[in-house]
Chain A
Amino acid sequence: MERLQSIPKAWIYLILVIVLAGPLLKPIGIPIQISDGVRNVFDAIDSLTPGSIVVFGFDYSPGNAAEMEPQALAILEHLADKQVEVVGISFQAQGPQMAEKAFANTAWSEKEYGVDYINLGYRAGGQAAVAAFANDIPGTFSTDYSGKPSSSFPIMQGIKTAADVDMIITIAPGQPGPEDYVRQVYGTYKTRIIAGVPAVAITQAAPYVQARQIEGILGGLPGAAEYELLVEKPGMAVAAMDAQSLAHLLIIILIVLRNIPNFFGAKEARAQSISNSTPNGRGGRS
């Protein structure tokens, strides 16, 4: 029984590799259900009219792209379909490159830069930069990612503050993230906010969603997978769902194995304590 509590690390690693690689190479096709939260995000974006201005915060880096990028790509596909105008910004140093990649790998690659979409690059400063952006968009992002004056692009005409923006979408695994946009943008301008966060950060963003300060959140890879299905463009996230399911199952099995000795041990200890507390041991009543 004790052996269940001391499975070598190497074996666990090996099993995990098999569990993750297997479904990626040969998908099982576990059905994916669309949750209400993801449908809310879809409906909010779907309500945008052609020509609406959407600020898209590429606030993630290559390190967390595996979880965040599928969310960004799925939403961008939907935005392209809705024929809105997208202003890409970033408060994360490596965000502009992620934006370039995302625009290039979606339907936006066929649209006109500077007219339909733009990548304004990165600004340092965290929450202070978010506040500055909300008050003065062309002033905070005075140039685009390539260094050209942002005011020279047709898409930027008429955009001064966050009040001129119809929706802000931020894909952010950390700080600055959705909370900063709520504090600095929603608090003053009431601009609609949608957020994409990693699965572990859903709890942090949930109070803002319940207060309707954030209109909807996509959580982790499952959120991205559900969104890919809603926009009918299954991609990386849908492909990874089988692997994620089996990985979760593996963790649960390992936890159960770890606790079997505890469970039986507790039972034995209880039996032992009853036996000790009676003068003649078990069934010792005379």
Chain B
Amino acid sequence: MKTSLPVAIMTVIALLIILDFFVVDSASVQWIKQSGLVLRSWGIVISAFAMGLGAVNLLRRHVVAISRRETDAFYSILLVGSMIVMIVVGIASGSTSPVYDFLFSNILSPASATMYASIAFYIVTAAYRSFSARSLESWVLLLTAVIVMLGKAPIGAAISGIFPVASDWIESIPNTAGMRAIMMGAALGVVSNAIKMFLGLDRTYLGLRD
């Protein structure tokens, strides 16, 4: 009962959602459409709670780090402080207020953009250090990378019209073929996993190993 009831609930809910996707919108099956609608709304509410739970966990983890005076406690203070300020401002004045907008535009945006931009430095040094061609396969990979990099920037076309054409061919034929195979494989994997869950063969989502 401890495991069969959750499996039964999951199966019924999942089947309703799947059926909703396939049935036409007619009066006789309106209850399926309505059930799908309600269940998806529940999904959104649960997701919102999950975000809140994540925030609380993060806060707890860093408050503990501060109280224990761990090595990087300074960063925890920064995180907790920023979080409290954004929460207080957001709740007190709303996310469309000038104060919230100021914090978003002048602190969060530049800080996030800086983090993202710094990846460029790592990409360049990583490409330099890791692209060491020692076999035929690695030379093929290297050549492909060079063609795509040139084809994806205006300088490639400025050097030769071949680069954009070759880059597009690589992207739309071999690359897409590989991607499609991966996607189909993953989709079949998801279907087989769903069937295992419906049949109660996979109960790991209940915290059980077998």
Instruction: Spell out A's residues near B (CB within 8 Å).
Output: 5, 7, 9, 12-13, 16, 20, 30-33, 35-36, 61-66, 93-94, 96-97, 100-101, 123-126, 128-129, 131-132, 135-136, 139-140, 145-147, 187-188, 199, 202-204, 206-207, 210, 219-220, 222, 225, 241-242, 244-252, 254-255, 257-259, 262-263, 266
Q: Return the chain B residue nearest A7 by Cβ.
A: B128
Q: Give A114 Cβ to nearest chain B Cβ, in Å.
A: 14
**Contacting residues, chain B, for A252 (C-beta < 8 A):** 146, 149-150
**Contacting residues, chain B, for A206 (C-beta < 8 A):** 171-172, 175-176, 179
Question: Across the interface, do B179 and A203 meet the contact criterion of CB distance under 8 Å?
Answer: yes
Q: Give B26 Cβ to nearest chain A Cβ, in Å.
A: 14
Interface mask (B63-102 → A, CB under 8 Å = 1, otherwise 0): 0000000000000000000000000000000111000010
Say whether B43 faces chain A, with CB atoms less than 8 Å apart: yes
Q: Return the chain A residue nearest B157 by Cβ.
A: A33
Question: Across the interface, do A9 and B154 meet the contact criterion of CB distance under 8 Å?
Answer: no
Say whether B41 faces chain A, with CB atoms less than 8 Å apart: yes
**Contacting residues, chain A, for B206 (C-beta < 8 A):** none
Question: Across the interface, do B124 and A139 meet the contact criterion of CB distance under 8 Å?
Answer: no
Per DSSP, chain A at the interface is helix
Instruction: Spell out B's residues near A (CB within 8 Å).
Output: 21, 33, 36-37, 40-41, 43-44, 46-48, 50-51, 94-96, 101, 104-105, 108-110, 112-113, 115-117, 120-121, 123-125, 127-129, 131-134, 142, 145-146, 149-150, 152-158, 164, 168, 171-172, 175-176, 179-180, 183
Known: A31-B158, A32-B154, A124-B44. A66 touches B117 (CB 8 A): yes
**Contacting residues, chain B, for A93 (C-beta < 8 A):** 51
CA–CA, A7 and B129, complex, Å: 9
Known: A203-B175, A259-B142. A12 touches B128 (CB 8 A): yes
Question: Across the interface, do B155 and A246 meet the contact criterion of CB distance under 8 Å?
Answer: yes
Q: Return the chain A residue nearest B139 by Cβ.
A: A259
Q: Give B117 Cβ to nearest chain A Cβ, in Å.
A: 7
A254 CB contact (under 8 Å) in B44, B124, B133? B124
Tally inter-chain residue pairs, CB-CB below 8 A: 176
Question: Across the interface, do B128 and A258 meet the contact criterion of CB distance under 8 Å?
Answer: yes
Q: Return the chain A residue nearest B39 by Cβ.
A: A128
A61 CB contact (under 8 Å) in B112, B133, B176? B112
Question: Across the interface, do A126 and B171 meet the contact criterion of CB distance under 8 Å?
Answer: no
Known: A31-B157, A125-B47, A145-B96. A255 touches B37 (CB 8 A): no
**Contacting residues, chain A, for B121 (C-beta < 8 A):** 12-13, 16
**Contacting residues, chain A, for B36 (C-beta < 8 A):** 135
**Contacting residues, chain B, for A97 (C-beta < 8 A):** 95, 101, 104-105
CA–CA, A94 and B104, complex, Å: 9
Known: A247-B124, A254-B128. A132 touches B154 (CB 8 A): no
**Contacting residues, chain B, for A123 (C-beta < 8 A):** 44
**Contacting residues, chain A, for B133 (C-beta < 8 A):** 259, 262-263
Having A30-B155, A129-B47, A206-B172, one finds 15 other A-B pairs with CB under 8 Å, namely A33-B157, A35-B164, A65-B109, A125-B44, A128-B47, A132-B37, A132-B41, A135-B40, A207-B179, A245-B155, A247-B120, A251-B128, A255-B127, A259-B142, A262-B133
B124 CB contact (under 8 Å) in A16, A96, A242? A16
- 6 A-B pairs with least C-beta separation: A245-B155, A128-B43, A63-B112, A62-B109, A125-B47, A125-B44
Q: Give B28 Cβ to nearest chain A Cβ, in Å.
A: 18
Question: Across the interface, do A9 and B125 meet the contact criterion of CB distance under 8 Å?
Answer: yes
Q: Return the chain A residue nearest B158 by Cβ.
A: A30
28 contacts between A and B (CB under 8 A): A5-B132, A13-B124, A20-B120, A30-B158, A32-B154, A35-B164, A63-B115, A66-B116, A66-B117, A94-B104, A97-B101, A100-B96, A100-B101, A125-B44, A131-B40, A136-B37, A140-B41, A146-B96, A203-B179, A246-B155, A247-B120, A248-B153, A249-B155, A251-B149, A252-B150, A255-B146, A258-B131, A262-B133
